[in-house]
Structure 1
Amino acid sequence: MVAIIKTGHSIHSIFNYNENKVKQGVAECIGEGNYPMDVDKMSDTMKLNRFLKQAALNDNVKRNSVHISLNFDPSENYSNGKLMAIANSYMEKIGFREQPYLVYQHYDSAHPHIHITSIKVRADGSRIDMHNIGRNQSETARKEIEKSFGLVVAEGRRKNHNKELQPISIGKVKYGRIQSKKAISNVLSQVLTSYRYASLAELNAVLKQYNVLADRGNENSRIFKAKGLVYRILDDDGKSIGVPIKASDFYYTPTLKFLEKKFISNATTKTSDKSRIKNVIDKAFLRTKMSMTELVVLLEKEGINTVFRKNAEGLLYGITYVDHTTKCVFNGSALGKEYSAKAIQDRCTSIRLVEQKTTDSNTEKSQNITFETPNSEIMATLFGSDFQNNKYVGSNTLMRQLAAILTESQQTANYIPNQLKGKKKKKKRRGQSDNQ
């Protein structure tokens, strides 16, 4: 089981998010905690007012809403009764036993999961301190619940994952298929919490695989100057389509400020996972021939996507690696100089150049063999008396011609020059006349 805890400023946003899922038919409110009646007997207004009245007891608590998701292995399909028992146990163990909460089961993802909505203000008006609750109380609760309920253990499973599995089972967003905001939200809910990225470019390297883009606009735009952020749907050619949606419109507000905090925390936790990508790339370059396209295919087989960044003229200036096994994203230069865009291009080119140079070198060697000037007696014996007394020894042209003849890979019946053939025939006829 994996638990994710988020807090927010608006109880309305979190409540409406879950209730809208119910109306869309992809979620169900399966239970409640510390409500005066069962959920199936309450209207939406009654559910929400329970939160609002208790939260109003302390106006000083600005981030007063709590949104928790408990995520299970795809093989775990539990009844509503068991899911409620898990939710009740979890809320008790993290200190929310007396708080009002609603439990929703969502069906919009490949893995089973539930969402729990609650507030941070107690019935006496005091505030619940949630500092490090994820690292301390929640982590302890998770381990105890996994053991007591016989759940699939989350810790250590990443090492045993199939490297070829896709990171998330959601498909690419297709404009017009479903509501834009819902489609983008589905992608963000998976990517933002699962992957470790240290810049907007690294985050977009993942999001673009699902036809989503986090966009600040150009440097002269109003949204950029105001440090705003919008999310866009992309078509299959990577071009923006439809109306962009402001980050603040999503219930968990994945704004630039929110992302910048993630950048800092992720940068310190993902450094140990660099070696896997580097080893896979180095192994690929052990091949005698490698093009950029072949490299991309080889990395994909190892669960690593390669994202190229090009300028308006189509020139490559950046490369980003998305490792779906470790859920880490790295700019090429962050791995080392030899893994940057330019270095990868040079490494692919150098392999082809070395191969070409080797071929050219072999050809050159065969065409530039140095011959020592033969002894005149040897030349006369081989090619006739005209070579006696070094008559042709000084002729560079003839020496090159002889070199070409002797180094031919396949010699034919006509490999001897005509002038040499003539001398041999004449010698043969002299021998016949003497015998007569």
Structure 2
Amino acid sequence: MVARIKFSASIRKPFHYNMQKLKEGNAKCLAAENIPMCTAENAELAIRFLEKQVGLLPDLKAKSVHISLNFSPDEQLSDDQMSLIAREYIEGIGFGQQPYLVYRHHDSGHPHCHIVTTNIRLDKSYISLHQIGKNVSEPVRKELETKYGLVRAEEQKKDQLRLKPITAEKVIYGKLDTKRAIGNILAEVIPNYKFTSLGELNAVLKLYNVLAEWGQEGSRINKNGGLLYRIINTKGQPVGVPIKASLFADKPTLNNLAKRFLTNDTYRFKFKNDVKTKIDLAIKFKKPDSLQKLQEQLKIQGLRLVPQVNEEGSIFGLTYVDLKSKCVFNGSALGKEYAAKRILERIHLPEKVNVNNAFASRKAYPQNEYSLNSQQKIPLEAYQKLDENSMLMLLMQYEFAASNVPYEWKKKKRKKNKR
């Protein structure tokens, strides 16, 4: 069993998230405890009581607690069993006297339930959430695993509960199905990944076949800083119905995302050198001759390389997604040596290379038969066709040899001190 705990200032967001699942037929309310005049059958009445209790301490930042209990796909738990485990878990972490709701969701590949509660007590005191996951939740989780013979979290395969890309072909292009599929991705990516721009966010979303885009110029969405989220296929082409950011529970509009940019930039700073080292080692020792091979080498180190392509098909930028630290870096944010132009030079590809050719080996690039920058020898017949003036110009012109020097051996020019 895997327990995940999230905190926020709003009790409405997790409540309406689960109630929406309930209305769509993808969830079932298993329990409504310690809430007067409210049962599992009329759970929609719980929000009034929850808001009043949360309002007892308006200055407290974290007062909404949203917990998910995830079980192995091999475990077939009944509603009663899951409700009992949820009750014992909530009592074990010290929330047994708090008002809480338990919802079982049916829209995922593994059985799981969500618990919505608050850490504020009726006497205006509160339950501390500091290190509650490590110090309180983990011992309770392990105890329940032993008691009910559940598959231990450490023994579960890592990819069973991992977020998987949306398969565009499997999405029914109705609004609810598209919204639910995109919403699951956004709920996992936005709070956990550290990005500082819309482009960096899109680099992560593209890994899951989702794209955020501006509204049309002059539209209400564009003027109000809104965004549209849509599903893309494996070729990067949009499919299905675009969904407004304001329709999702967390309201991932551009204005709300911008609030994360500064804090994310501060957090990711300590991981910058680690990402640069991974790139340098991959280029220096593996000597990739295409972007695809560079991607493969970085993927082994938990780093995803996402190229940015313009309408003409040329690569104008590179973004790096570190799956270990959950940090996203545009190439220029790491330094000039890691921007698209420099990376293409370091793996000896043309600067303005088409995205399709960039993924092919550099051996596929035909060289001019009589090019002086080419390493091949000019045949004798070519010299015999030259006149005296042409021959003299050929012998006296500058011989470009920089392409024969490996990038790592090139010496940087020293800056002269100004007097």
TM-score (norm: length of structure 1): 0.64
- Aligned-residue CA RMSD in angstroms? 4.5
Change (3 A) 1:288 1:220: same
Tell me which amino acid in the other structure corresponds to 1:149: L
Other-structure match for 2:28: 28
* Aligned partner of residue 343 in structure 1, secondary structure: helix
Q: Deviations over 1:174-202 (max 9, x none)?
A: 55356221121121122223433232211
Q: 2:139 aligns with which of 140, 144, 149?
A: 144
1:55, 1:120 within 8 Å by CA — same for their partners in 2?
no
Change (3 A) 1:322 1:31: same
* Distance across 2 between alignment mates of 1:350 and 1:234: 28
Q: Which has the larger radius of gyration?
A: 1
Tell me which amino acid in the other structure corresponds to 1:311: N
Unaligned runs of at least 5 residues, structure 2: 351-361, 381-419
Report the alpha carbon displacement of residue 314 of structure 1 after superposing the two structures with TM.
Answer: 3.2
Other-structure match for 2:17: 17
Other-structure match for 1:172: 167
1:229, 1:255 within 8 Å by CA — same for their partners in 2?
yes
Report the alpha carbon displacement of residue 204 of structure 1 after superposing the two structures with TM.
Answer: 0.9
For residues 155-194 of structure 1, the aligned pairs below 5 Å read 168-174=163-169, 175-177=171-173, 179-194=177-192
For residues 6-405 of structure 1, the aligned pairs below 5 Å read 6-7=7-8, 9=10, 11=12, 14-22=14-22, 24=24, 26-35=26-35, 39=39, 42-44=40-42, 47-53=43-49, 55-56=51-52, 61=58, 66=64, 68-72=66-70, 74=72, 77=75, 79=77, 83-84=82-83, 87-88=86-87, 91=90, 96-110=95-109, 112-118=111-117, 122-123=121-122, 126=124, 134-150=129-145, 168-174=163-169, 175-177=171-173, 179-217=177-215, 221-275=219-273, 277-285=275-283, 286-287=285-286, 290-349=289-348
Tell me which amino acid in the other structure corresponds to 1:5: K
Report the alpha carbon displacement of residue 250 of structure 1 after superposing the two structures with TM.
Answer: 1.5
Q: Deviations over 1:221-263 (max 9, x none)?
A: 5433322233223344434444432222222323334423433
1:173, 1:212 within 8 Å by CA — same for their partners in 2?
no
Q: Residue 4 in 1 paired to residue 2 in 2?
A: no
* Aligned partner of residue 32 in structure 2, secondary structure: strand
Number of equivalent positions: 352
Change (3 A) 1:200 1:129: farther
Tell me which amino acid in the other structure corresponds to 2:187: S
Q: Deviations over 1:12-65 (max 9, x none)?
A: x644432443455543333332146895xx533xx2224314534786859998
Other-structure match for 1:407: none
Query: Which is richer in helix?
Result: 1
* Distance across 2 between alignment mates of 1:239 and 1:284: 30
Unaligned runs of at least 5 residues, structure 1: 367-436
TM-score (norm: length of structure 2): 0.66
* Aligned partner of residue 349 in structure 1, secondary structure: coil
* Distance across 1 between alignment mates of 2:270 and 2:66: 29
* Distance across 2 between alignment mates of 1:106 and 1:118: 17
* Aligned partner of residue 347 in structure 2, secondary structure: helix
1:99, 1:122 within 8 Å by CA — same for their partners in 2?
yes
Change (3 A) 1:93 1:313: same
1:161, 1:325 within 8 Å by CA — same for their partners in 2?
no
Report the alpha carbon displacement of residue 75 of structure 1 after superposing the two structures with TM.
Answer: 7.2
- What percent of counterpart residues are identical? 36
